């Protein structure tokens, strides 16, 4: 008699990366002095979208746009680009580097507490519709420069590289 055991590690990976992605967004919002309460009110919607699109491998980019609510002009932006061939399925390691994000925040400059923010995603064609999410337009990054932070979330074959956008002086 033989026994066969299998574990769907990709589901565990997707769950972990979803949680760490939202945690990273929350930390950026909190550490820049913005109000995290709006994030908490949308937590389930954000989690559902990220989890669904990571699971189907349609999620390409998660973005935090920080903007002036009076002028609707971009003040700063954080991107988390997904990599579905980051490591090995058999690796088993799962990690997040919020210290790298905190260090990058110190370099990107102060954000006025009067700013507002939106979380946006970019998906590949064919992504499922998720309740609470809709199409959107992106604020212009003209006059900004993107700076790479490096990989800040890693879990088996799934990784996320963070970048921030800062106004060119």
Q: Is the pTM of this model over 0.85?
A: yes
pLDDT in tens, 129-167: 999 999 999 999 999 999 999 999 999 889 999 999 999
Helix 9-31 with 43-55: angle, nearest 10 deg:
140
The predicted pLDDT at position 169 comes to: 76
Residue 82's closest CA among 66, 99, 100, 58? Answer: 58
Beta-strand pair 74-83/59-67 = antiparallel
Residue 31 CA to residue 129 CA, distance in Å, equals: 32
At residue 101 the predicted structure's pLDDT band, cuts being 50, 70 and 90, is very high
pLDDT > 70? residue 6: no
Residue 29's closest CA among 41, 39, 16, 14? Answer: 39
Instruction: Classify residue 80 by its DSSP letter.
Output: E
The predicted pLDDT at position 9 comes to: 78
Cα separation of the two ends of the chain: 71
Residue boundaries of the structural domains of the chain? 9-125+142-167
Q: What is the CATH number of domain 9-125+142-167?
A: 3.30.900.10
Residue 6 CA to residue 116 CA, distance in Å, equals: 45
The predicted pLDDT at position 156 comes to: 86
């Amino acid at each position: 008699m033989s026994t066969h055991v299998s574990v769907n590690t990709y589901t565990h990976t997707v769950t972990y990366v979803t949680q760490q992605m939202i945690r990273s967004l929350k930390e950026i919002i909190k550490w820049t002095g913005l109000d995290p309460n709006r994030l908490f009110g949308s937590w389930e919607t954000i989690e559902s979208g990220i989890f669904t699109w990571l699971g189907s491998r349609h999620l390409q980019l998660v973005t935090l746009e920080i903007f002036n609510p009076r002028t609707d002009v971009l003040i700063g932006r954080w991107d988390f680009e997904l990599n579905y061939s980051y490591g090995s399925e058999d690796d088993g390691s799962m990690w997040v580097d919020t210290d790298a994000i905190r260090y990058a925040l110190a370099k990107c400059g102060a954000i006025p507490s009067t700013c507002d923010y939106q979380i946006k995603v970019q998906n590949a064609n064919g992504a499922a519709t998720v309740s609470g999410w809709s199409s959107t337009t992106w604020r212009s990054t003209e006059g900004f420069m993107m700076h790479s932070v490096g990989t800040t979330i890693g879990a088996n074959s799934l990784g996320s590289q963070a970048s921030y956008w800062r106004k060119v002086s």
